[in-house]
């Protein structure tokens, strides 16, 4: 941990009620950032649904009102789930896209005016190793995370002229409240991901939060447009 390297910077973290978002908010704060947290539930600064039109613009405005600007955006709000294509319903697919793609797009768009004013503008998205390969039953989720990686690259090309970096963390299997139901219901699925990882374990939220803090710092000032695998080496063992 590098205390103080984010001193004076203002951050907005969505999905901060638990898991990766909570760990990221804590890590950014430990490094000195002033952090506004939001989620649909939990012990956060603002309870909000990022899929509702206008919500992200209100969150950005609130950060500006509280901190006088915005330097770091971390889009951790997301959902997962499995449905086989045979019988896959539209509502499941649409909700996956609404949370994992549309809300992320709106957050970046609405935060951009403030980020342009910052000398340390950072956008950090949470993708998945599923943006590099597929998995049975994960069509909707995989499609959403491919979209996150695509947005990362395109937005990075667009906003680099303002000194803003855009990167995407691509976690492997992380032990969070979101993944816990699937791991509990399908212990063989959990074990398969443990075995898949070269390091032989599931990731913890802090494993992702530490990388987010790095990307938010000046140490990553010349990195942009990348998807960074943080998966314990799982993608090396396909």
CATH label of the domain that carries residue 201: 3.40.50.720
- Residue 191 resides in a domain: yes
pLDDT at 237: 61
Q: Is 141 marked active-site?
A: yes
- Strands, E, within 32-121: which ranges? 34-39, 46-47, 72-75
* Angle at 199 (CA atoms; ends 197, 205), nearest 5 degrees: 80
- Residue 4 resides in a domain: no
Mind listing the pLDDT tens digit of every residue in the chain (238 residues)?
A: 576 999 999 999 999 999 999 999 999 999 999 999 999 998 999 999 999 999 999 999 999 999 999 999 999 999 998 899 998 999 999 999 999 999 999 999 999 999 999 999 999 999 999 888 778 889 999 999 999 999 999 999 999 999 999 999 999 999 988 888 888 888 988 898 899 899 999 999 999 999 999 999 999 999 999 999 999 998 876 5
Instruction: Give the domain range for residue 224.
Output: 10-237
- Residue 5 resides in a domain: no
Q: What share of the chain is helix, strand, coil (3-state, %, to 5)?
A: 50, 15, 35
Candidate list 141, 183, 193, 229, residue with the active-site label: 141
pLDDT at 238: 55
Alpha-carbon distances, residue 217 vs 36, 93, 110, 119, 220 (angstroms): 17, 35, 22, 12, 6
Q: Any residues with CB less than 8 A from the CB of 163 and at least 6 apart, and which?
A: 119, 121
- Give this prediction's pTM: 0.95
pLDDT at 36: 98
Give the integer Cα–Cα distance in Å for 130 and 76: 16
Structural domains of the chain, count = 1
Inter-residue contact 78 to 125 (CB < 8 Å): no
Q: Any residues with CB less than 8 A from the CB of 230 and at least 6 apart, and which?
A: 169, 170, 171, 172, 203, 207, 208, 211
Give the integer Cα–Cα distance in Å for 100 and 112: 19
- Residue 151 resides in a domain: yes
């Amino acid at each position: 941990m590098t205390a103080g390297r984010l001193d004076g910077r203002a951050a907005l973290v969505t999905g901060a009620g638990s898991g990766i978002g909570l760990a990221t908010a804590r890590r950014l704060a430990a490094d000195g950032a002033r952090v506004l947290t939001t989620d649909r539930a939990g012990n956060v600064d603002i309870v909000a649904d990022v899929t509702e039109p206008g919500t992200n613009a209100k969150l950005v405005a609130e950060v500006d009102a509280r901190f006088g600007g915005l330097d770091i955006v971390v889009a951790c709000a997301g959902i997962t789930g499995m449905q086989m294509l045979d019988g896959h319903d539209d509502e499941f697919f649409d909700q996956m896209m609404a949370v994992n793609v549309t809300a992320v797009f709106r957050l970046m768009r609405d935060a951009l005016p403030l980020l342009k004013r910052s000398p340390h503008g950072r956008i950090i998205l949470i993708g998945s190793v599923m943006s590099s390969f597929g998995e049975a039953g994960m069509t909707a989720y995989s499609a959403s995370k491919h979209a996150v990686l695509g947005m990362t690259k395109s937005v990075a090309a667009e906003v680099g002229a303002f000194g803003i970096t855009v990167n995407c963390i691509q976690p492997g299997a992380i032990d969070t409240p979101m993944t816990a139901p699937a791991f509990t219901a399908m212990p063989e699925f959990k074990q398969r991901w443990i075995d898949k990882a070269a390091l032989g374990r599931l990731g913890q939220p802090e494993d992702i939060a530490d990388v987010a803090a790095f990307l938010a710092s000046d140490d990553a000032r010349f990195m942009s447009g990348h998807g960074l695998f943080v998966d314990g080496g799982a993608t090396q063992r396909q």
